[in-house]
Structure 1
């Protein structure tokens, strides 16, 4: 298989993640990885390409965003036909979204702590599993009505001191910009329909098991991913608006 693609080489000018991505694109386009086939796991890809797990994750994320790969929780990563991703909108914070809608924003901090990154968080933030991350769980309100619960994860090394001041944070992005020089440049979101968990039901005033938007966001600044947030949003109080262009 290694003869099909050029193995990443540190002596070449292109970043290793780009070289790894091109190698995997070659495996897909050549038919070595057929449509519908499951590709090797991260550990095997590291051995195959001779790069770190963080580099592999960066390349996999780009291929997933391009519609060439599909990651299925608990099953693995599969090759799929390229898809069109529609509905691009501006990068805004929740605070700004509420202001744009003319709503008075309210935020209640439910929990703030330093935890070890699990596989999902580590993969999103392109860090090693077990790396300390700051987890912020917040109830978001508009005009005093619950809209959703957001659980944000940020690399602890980049936001030292934020744990102690978390209770006073209204706009996370404004705080990150003012105190840590972190300026969002891009965000990638996935929306799914899921069920409200029992521990969230009373907080957002829905019955456990009710349908709601489940939103995953990975936000990037010039240094890479700095935020992974998982949100449960009320479908009757939160809208997805898209402008499509030919």
Structure 2
């Protein structure tokens, strides 16, 4: 039996097919790595031409929901793990809640002189001794990001004795050190991987990376944790939900 389609109500035929297939993928009707219906089957189901079906499948492939294997057909992609940015939380905290296996490889932890940029972010005199931490973040045994962290030396020397392979710094600061985190300012742009970063993340030199610049403050507004995160975009993503209207704020008494 063919599916009824109203072009006037739902746009072009291939857009409607694309929309319905997308809904089935997102809902789990087609599991990751599962084969999609063949072009011929979709032509019969929707009563459309092969070119219409190919337009719909091409759009899904462009959105990275499916991939094509020559001679075999189309298959559902494995969804990318993601970390939502609507809440301030650590990597392991966010990924563990989604059922993933996070792990950090500590590359280095040392005392360095604060560069002008680091000093400005942490509101310290330039050249002040700070702790610099370099970690490669793994998710389900694949490297996803290189995290560079700078902190005041008094906190950093304590962190040197902690298990930074399996624990989030945020949770250590709050649960062990009694420091309440308040908010973070962040910006995201794109950069090309230099040779050392590419080697750590197992990508080619020059590969595109997402770079996040994040400055985390205590609840009383003091800068505490400055980070630069270099993230692969082929196996991980950040997500943010943005409301059109801000939530109603309570009136100040």
TM (norm. structure 2) is 0.59
Instruction: Say if 1:181 and 1:159 are closer, same or farther in 2 by CA, change over 3 A.
Output: farther
2:105, 2:165 within 8 Å by CA — same for their partners in 1? no
Q: SS at 1:165's partner residue? A: coil
TM-fit CA distance, 1:159: 4.0
Deviations 1:175-212 (A, max 9, x none): 11233222221011111110111001122110011101
* Equivalent of residue 133 in structure 2, options 126, 131, 136: 136
User: Is 1:233–2:231 an aligned residue pair?
Assistant: yes
Structure 1 residue ranges without an equivalent (≥5): 1-86
Deviations 1:46-87 (A, max 9, x none): xxxxxxxxxxxxxxxxxxxxxxxxxxxxxxxxxxxxxxxxx9
Deviations 1:205-231 (A, max 9, x none): 100111010111100003411000011
Structure 2 residue ranges without an equivalent (≥5): 1-83, 245-253
* Equivalent of residue 121 in structure 2, options 103, 107, 124: 124
Q: SS at 2:188's partner residue? A: strand
Q: What is the aligned partner in structure 2 of residue 108 from structure 1?
A: 105
The CA distance in 1 between the partners of 2:183 and 2:227, in whole Å, is: 14
User: Is 1:180–2:177 an aligned residue pair?
Assistant: yes
The structure number with the bigger radius of gyration is: 2
Q: What is the aligned partner in structure 2 of residue 57 from structure 1?
A: none
1:89, 1:243 within 8 Å by CA — same for their partners in 2? yes
- Report matched runs for 1:16-31 at 5 Å: none
TM-fit CA distance, 1:97: 2.1
Q: What is the aligned partner in structure 2 of residue 165 from structure 1?
A: 162
TM-fit CA distance, 1:136: 0.6
TM-fit CA distance, 1:163: 2.2
The CA distance in 2 between the partners of 1:128 and 1:166, in whole Å, is: 30
1:133, 1:155 within 8 Å by CA — same for their partners in 2? yes
1:192, 1:215 within 8 Å by CA — same for their partners in 2? yes
TM-fit CA distance, 1:168: 5.3
1:193, 1:211 within 8 Å by CA — same for their partners in 2? yes
2:143, 2:202 within 8 Å by CA — same for their partners in 1? yes
Deviations 1:90-130 (A, max 9, x none): 11111122123321001110000011111010111111111
- Report matched runs for 1:50-89 at 5 Å: 89=86
1:193, 1:212 within 8 Å by CA — same for their partners in 2? yes
Q: SS at 1:227's partner residue? A: strand
Q: What is the aligned partner in structure 1 of residue 28 from structure 2?
A: none
Q: SS at 1:243's partner residue? A: coil
The CA distance in 2 between the partners of 1:166 and 1:155, in whole Å, is: 19
Instruction: Say if 1:204 and 1:196 are closer, same or farther in 2 by CA, change over 3 A.
Output: same
